[in-house]
Amino acid sequence: MSDSENLVEVGPASEFEDGDAEIIQVGRTEVGVIRAEGEFYAIRNQCPHDGGPVCKGNVQKELVGEFKGTGKRVDQQYSDTDIISCPWHGWSFELETGIHIGDDRIRVPTYDVVVDDGIVYVDKGD
């Protein structure tokens, strides 16, 4: 397990369903711990667009499309990438990296999650 001084306890992993988010304090920062497809992610609960509570948004798979030409339908499908969308204005970010799905220059900070003995922790880093 990581250095226990850097870990912030979230709670039992068994209490999380897919799509659930638990908002915790990591230092002076609000962080959302989210379970998606059985994996845990931690992302700052502040959208860089307008400060919205991004972790209160919907978790889903990223919808991607390919333009096939004028007058043709866009070929769309869902990828394997889990995203979260800010409920205020719909800005969407990859859960794993925090990168905005439309502009990789925009990012929400992410944190490592550790599950040890059935308990979920966020590693606040150095």
Q: Is the dihedral of CA 26, 30, 35, 40 positive or negative?
A: negative
Instruction: State how far the Cα of 67 lies from the Cα of 76, in Å rounded to an integer.
Output: 9
Spatial CA neighbour of 59 closest among 32, 77, 28? 32
Mean pLDDT of 98-118: 94
Express each pLDDT in 67-91 by its tens digit: 777 877 777 776 788 999 999 999 9
- In order of 27, 76, 104, 110, 121, the CA distances from 62 in angstroms are 31, 10, 14, 18, 26
Of 58, 53, 57, 20, whose CA–CA distance to 36 is shortest? 20
pLDDT of residue 1 exceeding 70, the answer is no
pLDDT the model gives residue 84: 92
What is the model's pTM? 0.83
Q: Which residue has the higher pLDDT, 32 or 63?
A: 32
